[in-house]
Amino acid sequence: MSLNSGHELVLVVDFGGQYTQLIVRRIREHGVYSEMVPYNKAADVIRERNPSAVVLSGGPRSVDEADAPTMDPAALQGIPTLGICYGHQWLAANMGGSAKKAEGREYGRQALTSVAANSWLAGLASRQVWMSHGTEVVQPPTGAVVIASTDGCPVAAFADEANKRYGVQFHPEVSHTPAGKEILRRFLFEHVGLKGDWTTANFIEESIARIREEVGDAKVLCAVSGGVDSSVMAALLTRAIGDRAVCVFVDHGLLRKGEAQQVRQAFTEHFHPRLIVFDARARFFSALAGITDPEQKRKTIGEQFVRVFEDHADDLKDCTFLAQGTLYPDVIESGSSTAAKIKTHHNVGGLPDWMRLKLIEPLRWLFKDEVRALGRALGLPEEMVEREPFPGPGLAVRILGEVTSARVATVQEADWIFRTELRARGLQVGIWQSYAALLGDVRSVGVMGDERTYENPIILRAVQSEDAMTATAAPIPFEILEHIATRIVNEVPGVNRVLYDLTSKPPATIEWE
Ligand code: XMP
């Protein structure tokens, strides 16, 4: 099932480029719905879905190699098409022009040295473009004319206005091409003639209709963790089917200070579902007693979720569906935008076998920022919509050594001070995650009020990241760190030292365990 019934659709054919997802996002930012399709399925999908336009992505290969990625050019007949980088070369090579390996590679910022008057690229505020290629177009496709060049690339762009076929050797989707947004806007609205009918309000309306159709009279189990994705998913389901969205929140006692309470409040105050809270704190703490190994902690927590669901079989036995907050990047990562990927819910950690639930994933076409916009439109409070990613096993992986309720309280207090101080100065902006961790089994000697202390250290970690795959330590000013350290040692019992983690990922990871 796809989203565009009755709407404008731009399909982005993926030839394996590193920016393909970004092209999809940029098109959606213009209010036009877009999806990615792998090149080997592209022709069939285009014929089936009849998109308003097609964009051909970049890719690591050269079009003149024997087994280079390709598709049936006839599928593009009559459809406005924009080729980017590899896509630009592919259009030339397959539509009557030619492309060949260049003498050298052209990489990085370049300037368009000539641009044809009255063309698609005329009069842009900036002529700076981002290039990354080792193959170039020699002859544009039949009917197309060259409309821009750089010093190293004679055919940097071409246009065939009659057939609405365009190509750019550079990448308009990256921020290093300052006029990239305008270039895509002109393509979508002036050349293809789209209107831009992809809005959050439309999405809500259509998703509700789709959920109602799929679910019928059944009940849907929505396991919520307090994170953005599951909260938005539950809010959407509740809007669609009211109380038949059975929202369950397992309080394992391992959330940040005040967050369990916040989840309850946000749900009951902001969209009034029947939120079922299973207070499983005692169960989790007793199961975690004596465990120090990080993987063992994760496994134990996963198992306890299953036990909690088993304990409450009576409350849940009527549910025939399970809603998951899978997002579009997860779907894309599975290798195909048309194949479903079933992701184990981090926070549920697998459900018991007797729950043979059908899966629904209402957010599987959305990017994270779109999910946040959707959450706002559904009335979720800002603190919930803007919440940082948080690991499913919670504070258990931020307490090194055994997890006890006393240690959880210590880490919660330190974490609270750290994050409150960052927020008070607006420093949380641009930070991917920030948290406090406790070295539970390490003690050091200190002195406080003339007395010797022998207590635990707290580690502060704040990182900048795009996607959690890599990360760097956030450059928080030293005086602020010092102030925070003083507050933590003064206000949190049992802590006499504070350290700031400067390590990037790799070689470290974001979490300590
Ligand atoms: P690392 O520590 O591997 O974390 O750099 C990358 C991202 O994943 C989160 N994380 C987890 N999320 N269950 C989760 O749901 C887990 O066991 C888990 N471990 C790490 C982490 O917070 C970061 O955003």
Is there a domain that residue 430 lies in? yes
In ligand 1, which atom is closest to the CA atom of 432?
Answer: 24
Is there a domain that residue 505 lies in? no
Is there a domain that residue 333 lies in? yes
Tokens of 293: 């190994």
Selected catalytic residue, list 88, 133, 171, 346: 171
293/178 same-domain check = no
- The strand pair at 53-56 and 81-84 is best described as parallel
Exposure letters 450-474 (e unless 16+ CB within 10 A, then b): eeebebbbbbbbbbebeeeeebebb
First to last CA, the chain: 39
Q: Tell me which of 303, 472, 510, 513 to substitute to probe ligand 1's pocket, judged by most ligand atoms within 8 Å of the beta carbon.
A: 510
**What angle do the packed helices 405-424 and 478-491 form, to 10 degrees?**
140
| pLDDT for the residue 470 | 84
The rounded Å distance from CA 368 to ligand 1 centre is 16
* Dihedral of the alpha carbons of 305, 310, 312, 316, in degrees to the nearest 10: 100
The rounded Å distance from CA 225 to ligand 1 centre is 14
**Host domain of residue 457:** 398-500
The rounded Å distance from CA 510 to ligand 1 centre is 7
Is there a domain that residue 322 lies in? yes
DSSP state of 411: H
The rounded Å distance from CA 240 to ligand 1 centre is 31
131/279 same-domain check = no
Ligand 1, atom 7, lies closest to the CA of 468
Helix (H, G, I), strand (E, B) or coil at 191: helix
Helix (H, G, I), strand (E, B) or coil at 120: coil
22 and 161 Cβ atoms separated by less than 8 Å: no
The rounded Å distance from CA 468 to ligand 1 centre is 8
CA–chain centroid gap for 471, Å, is 15
Selected catalytic residue, list 85, 153, 222, 319: 85
Q: What is the pTM of this model?
A: 0.78
| Separation of alpha carbons 234 and 229, rounded Å | 9
Nearest to 161 by CA among 181, 190, 129, 138: 190
| pLDDT for the residue 469 | 80
Selected catalytic residue, list 8, 35, 173, 370: 173
Q: Tell me which of 297, 511, 512, 513 to substitute to probe ligand 1's pocket, judged by most ligand atoms within 8 Å of the beta carbon.
A: 511
In ligand 1, which atom is closest to the CA atom of 508?
Answer: 5
Is there a domain that residue 21 lies in? yes
| pLDDT for the residue 413 | 98
- Other beta carbons within 10 angstroms of residue 170's beta carbon come to 29
**What angle do the packed helices 228-241 and 200-215 form, to 10 degrees?**
70
233/333 same-domain check = yes
388 and 255 Cβ atoms separated by less than 8 Å: no
105/14 same-domain check = yes
**Which residue type does 244 have?**
R
Number of folded domains that form the chain? 3
| pLDDT for the residue 293 | 95
111/45 same-domain check = yes
Looking up residue 21, the CATH number of its domain turns out to be 3.40.50.880
| pLDDT for the residue 333 | 65
In ligand 1, which atom is closest to the CA atom of 511?
Answer: 2
The yes-or-no answer on residue 173 being catalytic is yes
Ligand 1, atom 19, lies closest to the CA of 391
The rounded Å distance from CA 472 to ligand 1 centre is 15
| pLDDT for the residue 237 | 96
| pLDDT for the residue 350 | 55
Domain final position from 159, 191, 223? 191
Which segments of 425-496 does DSSP mark as H helices, in order? 478-491
| pLDDT for the residue 4 | 62
Ligand 1, atom 9, lies closest to the CA of 391
| pLDDT for the residue 334 | 59
- The strand pair at 451-464 and 444-448 is best described as antiparallel
> Who lines ligand 1 at CB under 6 A?
298, 346, 389, 391-393, 433, 468, 505, 509-511
pLDDT digit of tens for each residue in the chain (513 aa)? 466 667 899 999 999 998 898 999 999 999 999 999 999 999 999 999 999 999 999 999 999 999 999 999 999 999 999 999 999 999 999 999 999 998 888 889 999 999 999 999 999 999 999 999 999 999 999 999 999 999 999 999 999 999 999 999 999 999 899 999 999 999 999 999 999 999 988 889 989 999 999 999 999 999 898 889 999 999 999 999 999 999 999 999 999 999 999 888 888 887 767 899 999 999 999 999 999 999 999 999 988 988 898 888 888 889 999 898 888 877 776 554 333 332 233 444 456 666 678 889 999 889 888 999 999 999 898 888 989 999 989 999 999 999 999 999 999 999 999 999 999 999 999 999 999 999 999 999 999 989 999 999 999 999 999 878 889 999 999 999 999 999 999 999 999 999 999 999 989 999 999
Helix (H, G, I), strand (E, B) or coil at 6: coil
